[in-house]
Structure 1
Amino acid sequence: MVQAYILIQTEVGQAAGVASTIAGLPGVTSAEDVTGPYDVVVRAEADTVDELGQLVVARIQSIPGITRTLTCPVVHL
């Protein structure tokens, strides 16, 4: 199981709608609108790194209102 935090920047006024849309996607365990340099923080999981990449590129980045994403995989050292 691969887990990651996805930090998202949105267009002005779009954070709540983007977070709500993302929260309903399979593989997303949480999606919160936040303050700071990013507007939405998502926690997601997938069976493989490739599946995680498909979630980010094919599903999340295609949502209207998103301007940039940064994926931070969780590591266990």
Structure 2
Amino acid sequence: MVQAYILIQTEVGRAAQVAADIAGVEGVVQVDDVTGPYDVIVRVQAEDVDALGRLVIARIQRLDGITRTLTCPIVNLKS
């Protein structure tokens, strides 16, 4: 199982609607509207890196109102 944060920039005034739309996508664990350079931050999980890529490209980036995404895979380093 892999998890990642997706940092999302939206069209002006669309952050709340984008967050609501993303919340219904399978694989989405958490969605937050935020301030700063990004408008929405999403935590997702998928079976593997390929499935993560498909989730981001086919399910999230296609939603109306999204202008840019940045996917940050979570790395768990155990010592």
If the TM-score is normalised by the length of the shorter chain, which range does it land in? over 0.9
2:67 aligned with 1:76, yes or no? no
* Count of residue pairs the alignment pairs up: 77
The equivalent residue for 2:56 is 56
User: Tell me, what secondary structure is at the counterpart of 1:72?
Assistant: strand
- Which runs of 5 or more structure 2 residues have no equivalent in the other structure? none
Aligned CA-pair RMSD = 0.4
**Which residue does the alignment assign to 1:42?**
42
| Larger Rg belongs to | 2
1:64 and 1:24 map into 2 onto residues whose CA distance is 14
Q: Please list every run of at least 4 consecutive aligned residues from structure 1 whose deviation after the TM superposition is greater than 4 angstroms.
A: none
Q: What displacement does 1:64 show? A: 0.5
TM-score, normalised by the number of residues in structure 1: 0.98
3-state SS, counterpart of residue 38 of structure 1: coil
| TM-fit CA distance, 1:76 | 1.0
What runs of 5+ residues in structure 1 fail to find an aligned partner?
A: none
Cα offset, 1:32, TM superposition: 1.0
Q: How far apart, CA to CA, are the structure 2 residues paired with 1:19 and 1:31?
A: 6
